[in-house]
């Protein structure tokens, strides 16, 4: 994990927004509720919660809910994301979310907090080393 976390981010406030979003999670199957708060470059914050489905493969994570809200509102560049999960051990984004977050370079910091206070700090580039991204497409056409 990176120690290059951006301390100019108002992490406590962003984490509180993620915690509030977590309260809206739809998680009737796992009861594993997650909230995310995504800080856009222009200062707007977009929140998301996980949305489960009886057809389990259709579940959507909080991070992707937040990204969807941001994209819908026209945001494309991000400064940070805070993620809040339950329990004592914070969870980092799943592989699918790492790929989705990496779609929006440059890399930005990720702060994962458990409701009981554990913290993991990283950034989107570190979470997906050697990832497939827009640059790969641009360099491999033809
Ligand atoms: Zn995910």
pLDDT the model gives residue 18: 98
| DSSP result, the chain | --S---TTS-HHHHHHHHHHHHTT-B-TTT---EEEEEEETTS-EEEEE-B--SSGGG-B-HHHHHHHHHHHTT---EEEEEEEESSSS--PPPHHHHHHHHTSPSP-EEEEEETTS-EEEEEHHHHSTT---HHHHHHS--
pLDDT the model gives residue 56: 95
How far is the centre of ligand 1, averaged over its atoms, from the C-alpha of 14 (Å)? 19
Tokens for 47, please give them.
């929140």
For 7-22, what is the mean pLDDT? Answer: 95
63 as an active site residue: the answer is yes
Quote the pTM value.
0.93
Selecting among 16, 41, 63, 121, the annotated active-site residue is: 63
Residue 4 has pLDDT above 70, yes or no: no
The Cα 48–Cα 7 span in angstroms is: 23
Residue 3 has pLDDT above 70, yes or no: no
- Architecture in CATH of 13-126: 3-Layer(aba) Sandwich (3.40)
Q: List, as ranges, residues with CB under 5 A of the ion ligand 1.
A: 61, 94, 97
85-139 pLDDT, tens digit each? 998 899 999 999 999 999 999 999 999 999 998 999 999 999 999 999 888 888 8
How far is the centre of ligand 1, averaged over its atoms, from the C-alpha of 16 (Å)? 20
* Domain ranges for the chain: 13-126
State the average pLDDT for the chain. Answer: 94
Residue 74 has pLDDT above 90, yes or no: yes
């Amino acid at each position: 994990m990176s120690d290059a976390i951006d301390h100019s981010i108002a992490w406590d406030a962003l984490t509180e927004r993620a915690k509030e979003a977590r309260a809206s999670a739809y998680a009737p199957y796992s009861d594993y509720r997650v909230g995310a708060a995504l800080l856009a470059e222009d200062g707007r914050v977009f929140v998301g919660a996980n949305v489960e489905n009886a057809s389990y493969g259709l579940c959507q994570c909080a991070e992707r809910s937040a990204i969807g809200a941001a994209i819908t509102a026209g945001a494309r560049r991000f400064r940070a994301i805070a993620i809040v999960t339950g329990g004592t051990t914070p969870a980092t984004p799943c592989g699918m979310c790492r790929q989705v977050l990496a779609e929006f370079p440059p890399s930005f910091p990720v702060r994962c907090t458990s409701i009981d206070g554990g913290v993991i700090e990283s950034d989107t580039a570190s979470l997906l080393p050697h990832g497939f991204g827009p640059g790969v497409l641009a360099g491999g056409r033809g």
